[in-house]
Amino acid sequence: MVQTESFVILSMILFALGAMGVLVRRNPILVFMSVELMLNAANLALVAFAREWGHADGQLFVFFVITVAAAEVAVGLALIVAIFRTKRNINIDELHLMEG
C-alpha cells in the first residue's frame, strides 16, 4: 500500500503547478484550467486522507468539489464568451474594465 504521505506530496506538487499557471498564463481559459488543476490536487489529498482515516466523508467532499467546479467552469466560460463578444479580445492583461 502506497503511503498517504506520497499522495499528499504529489498533490502539493500539482497544486503548486496549478497556482503557477494561474499567475503566469494570460489566456483566461488556461487560467481556468490551472484552477481546475488546483481543485484536482485538493481532491487527491482529500481522497488520500479519506483512505488514511477509513472514513468516506473525504470522498463525499470530493463530490461537492467536483460539482462546484462544474458550476464554476460553466459560469466562467460564459463570462469569457460574453467578454469576447464585447471586446473581441480575452487577454487578461488587457482587461481592466474595473480599474478606477
Partner 1 sequence: MEFLLFTGVGALAIIAAVAMLISDNAVHSALFLIGNFLCVAFLYLMLEAPFLAMVQIAVYAGAIMVLFLFVIMLLGAEKTPQASDKRRLGWVPGVALAAALSFIFAVGAAVSGGQIGTAPAPAEDALMQVVHAAPLPAEPAPEGANEARVAIAERRFDIYVDGALKLEGIEYGATEGTSFTVSAGEHIVQLSPAGTNVPLKTATVTVESGQALTLVLHGDTDASLSLTPAEPFDAVVARNTAAVKFFNALPDATSIDVVDIQSELFDDGRRVTPIVESVAYGATSKTALFNLREASNWTVIEGGSAEKVKAGDRTFILVRVNNTPVIEYRPERAYLTVITGLRAPDGTLQPNVLKAQQVSPLVFGSPQVIGQRLFIDYALPMQLVAVLLLAAMIGVIVLTLRKEHTPKPSRALRRKVSRPLTSVIASQTGTDVLHDTPQLTAPQEQTETVGD
User: d(Cα 83, Cα 9) in Å, to the nearest integer?
Assistant: 38
**Nearer Cβ to partner 1 (89/100):** 89
**Nearer Cβ to partner 1 (18/100):** 18
Q: How far is the CB of 24 from partner 1 (least distance, A)?
A: 4
- Residue carrying the nine cell digits 502506497: 2
Q: How far is the CB of 30 from partner 1 (least distance, A)?
A: 6
Please report, as a single letter, which amino acid is at residue 20: M
Question: Taking a C-beta distance cutoff of 8 angstroms, is the pair 82, 74 a contact?
Answer: no
**Nearer Cβ to partner 1 (2/100):** 2
Q: How far is the CB of 100 from partner 1 (least distance, A)?
A: 19
